[in-house]
Structure 1
């Protein structure tokens, strides 16, 4: 009997140890493997995915000692269209998305303040201002349904067109792709016919004559081969006719489900510094694409200060209309405009 009892106890002990080992192994595997899906609308080789998003993802993976894996899905590979990206982050179709705030017109009204005519000084300073204002005014309002990783803007917007555009009058009747609600308001008031569409649709629209031109920064014009589709590019000296506000967002529940140490990794690689890095980096890739257009013999139209002033004066109506619209919605457009300008000035002077 003792022999049998001892053997039964031994077998039970071995079984318990095996179960404990299996449980520890499962716990270790769980702790090791957190996979996050990052979805966005540009090809993987475009500047933002390659030099901004991949930098972020690689750093998160390294800082987590491999416990976080970022799966990257460019060019809408998880399905849907660019305007659906923000809802994909909210609904959990993707864990992380990078998108244009203006792809869902009117949904993020406070972010529009940075897209208004001649607001931006440079992308780094304006991106810092965007983050600070977002943290104060947007996180609990416009951005409440997702976890914000970063927000930023691109470099100076450029008009790329079939025919030369130098004066406001040159826009009359021009079918122009514009990226956001505010830029649609602007170009409509200046006499153009704005056509809204996501960035990936631009090359086909230009080649088929759906539009006569597009307003985008130089850096994205490269991956779209815009310099091969049009010959004229209008710049606004040291000013920026417009810029676009971006949102880098994470599903709120997915973020909250992470252990505290992995949340800390995400947090350390997000926020105002990454926003500033993203804006500065995106703008830095304007110059090489501009150089390519020059080397192709394209017509670079550089407006003088006096010529730019005509555009500033003509753009005032858009500023006034936007402020009035937000005031009527109870959002105090006047205060938002003043605060955004003050923050941009603060960070520009600090550069």
Structure 2
């Protein structure tokens, strides 16, 4: 009997490393920018390091930047839903029509600071837009910084200057905004933008400062127009989501680690990393000697008036889907105001 117990004890000890190894979960994390981008180094890597530490090494990330799992940026959401990737960072604007309610945060002159607007977006999505996240678990939802107009060769200061110019737009509402302002919008993901600028396919781009260094936009443009308003001319919504089946397959302890690194404050933290990257991108542009300027307040008021039909149309379109578009817009605006205090 003693020998049998000894043998069983030895066997149990021998199996312990195997059990421990079985607990390790490697999460495939995919996104569309190069590994030198601030999103990769300041947000995704630190988040992965944090869940690894809090899970005592049981959760690990294998990061696939620059679409290394294949496909194109607009396919990232499906990759997360289908399990090609376990977690993705992407822009809802890359898949027009799939996030019609949460799109409210991309309306012109709607959002304020990174953190306040991102906290507002998390609360709003949890209450009003979870149907848009079928098949995935939201880890964070946020807005990037105020989008700035970057131009190759022209210093644009008025609506007349902008008229007819071919400008890259970040999303469906970005397209509509540029059209309302008189420009000719050209929708495309960020990775395609640099080549289009260098070849003159587009004359400008509507993007936040943070993507400028990674895409070399400051080397391809000379003039950079900021709105100068506390409210952004427009932003892009962003999401960090996990395959729901993968999340459900985790042990309760590991799900708790994911939960502890998800939510309103995680969304605000992510947006703060983009805020810091915005400052770095602007500084790099100024250091290069490019012209950075603000549209005068009186002129910007004309831009805001010209953009109002974009909001009116969004309300009408959402209401046609059987929900109260104006109520949703007002609720989102109230949340932005609440967190901006």
Report the counterpart of residue 117 of structure 1 in structure 2: 108
The alpha carbon displacement at 1:280 in A equals 1.8
Q: Would you say the 8 A contact 1:40–1:73 is kept in 2? A: yes
The alpha carbon displacement at 1:284 in A equals 1.9
Rg comparison, structure with higher value: 1
Q: Distance in 2 between matches of 1:247 and 1:234?
A: 27
Report the counterpart of residue 322 of structure 1 in structure 2: 314
Report the counterpart of residue 138 of structure 2 in structure 1: 148
For residues 110-259 of structure 1, the aligned pairs below 5 Å read 110-139=101-130, 141-162=131-152, 163-238=154-229, 239-259=231-251
Two-structure CA RMSD over aligned residues (Å): 1.7
Could you list the runs of 5+ residues in structure 1 that have no partner in the other structure? 1-5
Q: Distance in 2 between matches of 1:188 and 1:17?
A: 74
Normalising by structure 2, report the TM-score: 0.95
Report the counterpart of residue 329 of structure 2 in structure 1: 337
Q: Would you say the 8 A contact 1:125–1:344 is kept in 2? A: yes
The alpha carbon displacement at 1:28 in A equals 2.2
Q: Distance in 2 between matches of 1:176 and 1:303?
A: 17
SS at match of 1:331: coil
Deviation by residue 1:88-141 (Cα, 9 ceiling, x = unmatched): 1110000000000110001001121000000011111000000000111122x1
**Is it true that 1:107 corresponds to 2:98 in the alignment?**
yes
Q: Distance in 1 between matches of 2:270 and 2:5?
A: 56
Q: Distance in 2 between matches of 1:145 and 1:169?
A: 45
Normalising by structure 1, report the TM-score: 0.93
264-273 or 15-24: bigger deviation: 15-24
**Is it true that 1:304 corresponds to 2:301 in the alignment?**
no
The alpha carbon displacement at 1:17 in A equals 5.3
Deviation by residue 1:45-92 (Cα, 9 ceiling, x = unmatched): 111111111111111111111111111111111111100001111100
Instruction: Spell out structure 1 runs of 4+ moving beyond 6 A.
Output: 12-15
The alpha carbon displacement at 1:219 in A equals 1.1
Could you list the runs of 5+ residues in structure 2 that have no partner in the other structure? none
Q: Distance in 1 between matches of 2:311 and 2:181?
A: 13
SS at match of 1:285: helix
The alpha carbon displacement at 1:332 in A equals 2.1
Match of 1:93 among 84, 91, 96: 84
Q: Would you say the 8 A contact 1:138–1:144 is kept in 2? A: no
SS at match of 2:293: strand
The alpha carbon displacement at 1:166 in A equals 1.3
Report the counterpart of residue 60 of structure 1 in structure 2: 51
